Amino acid sequence: MTRFSLNQWTTRHWPMPDLLAGCAAAGVDVGLWREPVAEYGLTRTAKLVQEHGLTVTSLCRAGFFQRPDALEDNRRAIEETAALGAPVLCLVSGGLPEGSRDVDGARSRVADLLAELAPYAGEHGVQLALEPLHPMYCSDRCVVSTLAQALDMAAPFSPTQVGVMVDTYHLWWDPAVWDGIARAGAEDRIALFQVADWVTPLPEGVLTGRGMLGDGCVELRRFREAVDATGYTGPIEVEIFNDELWAMPGPAALDLALSRFAQHVV
């Protein structure tokens, strides 16, 4: 199906060769994650991707700028993205250092590291996708919390080097999100569009509670139309962290995602 891309974490237990074969058979693109790529082998993964004639829409994820080795690790991630032929590297900025209350400082560090990494990304033909995560992750995962904030942080850089991620799960609640999407399009910053639905109650730790498309309260089609209205014609990645989905066999999860995508997104 055109524009549909299966983010690997949606079917995280599907072994790499089966995932790639499954996506190729279904005629869909794939978004990969660094950990399973490393486990299977970067070169081996790139080779298999090529053999299947697959398009890798993104590599998830680098960032986590509060870690001491962040610069080096992010450079490696840029190289991995290029090796996979993916145009986009997803960046989750990281939260506050342990025991810190300095959220402004953590945000400054994101700006500083983007300045270091943007040219390196450019040299490798990779666009960094700075991802605003839902504010419930601000302290421990991502101090970038709104689309407007991500666009402000991306502003000093060329859009070919630093764009933003538009993910319905993280942004749906924001009354300013429609203005943000229009602005992101006007500034040519939409690096990637990801979809997942919002369901409650949230589980402990709030990490694995994303909803299958159509199961929650997000106006998914309105988001897709708003993103499209800016001129974005790129892939739409389905990225859902959900224990029930993870318990399903990969092909069944992909089928379900494809059918819900047709029903609720396009």
Interface pick for its own copies out of 36, 135, 159, 251 (rule CB under 8 A): 135
Pairing of strands 197-198, 210-211: antiparallel
Answer for which of 149, 158, 160, 208 binds its own copies (CB under 8 A) is 149
Residue 4 parent element (H or E): strand 4-7
Q: Which is nearer to its own copies, 178 or 246 (CB)?
A: 178
Query: From CA 142, how far away is CA 91, in angstroms rounded?
Result: 9
Maximum distance among all alpha carbons in the chain? 49
Among 146, 194, 230, 242, which residue interacts with its own copies (rule: CB under 8 A)? Answer: 146
C-beta closer to its own copies: residue 174 or 228? 174
| Tokens coding 40 | 């299977």
For residue 218, give every residue at least 6 positions away whose Cβ sits within 8 Å of its Cβ, in sequence order, or none.
168, 169, 172, 196, 197, 198, 211
- How far is it, in rounded angstroms, from Cα 187 to Cα 165? 13
Q: Which part of the chain contacts its own copies (CB under 8 A), choosing from 44-52, 67-75, 112-120, 139-147? A: 139-147
53 makes contact with its own copies (CB under 8 A): no
Cα→Cα distances 201→31, 81, 132, 211, 260, Å: 28, 35, 22, 11, 21
Each residue 75-114 as x (binds its own copies by CB under 8 A) or -, in order, gives ---------------------x---xx-x---x-------
In the numeric block, which tokens belong to residue 213? 């498309």
Q: By CB under 8 A, what part of segment 166-225 binds its own copies?
A: 172-176, 198, 200-206, 216-219
How many positions of this chain bind its own copies (CB under 8 A)?
32
SS3 call for 186: helix
> For its own copies, which is the closer residue by CB, 25 or 173?
173
Helix axes 16-26, 250-264, angle to 10 degrees: 40
Residue 109 Cβ, how far from its own copies at the closest point, in Å?
A: 14
Q: Which is nearer to its own copies, 24 or 111 (CB)?
A: 111
Comparing CB distances to its own copies, the nearer of 10 and 146 is 146
| Residue in 3, 34, 109, 134 binding its own copies, rule: CB under 8 A | 134
- As measured in angstroms, the least distance from the Cβ of 204 to its own copies is 4
Query: Cβ 35 to its own copies, closest distance in Å?
Result: 21
Where helices occur in the chain by DSSP H, the ranges are 16-26, 34-40, 42-51, 70-83, 103-123, 147-154, 168-171, 177-186, 220-229, 243-246, 250-264
Inter-residue contact 61 to 92 (CB < 8 Å): yes
**Residues in contact with its own copies by the rule CB under 8 A:** 96, 100-101, 103, 107, 134-136, 138-140, 145-146, 148-149, 172-176, 198, 200-206, 216-219
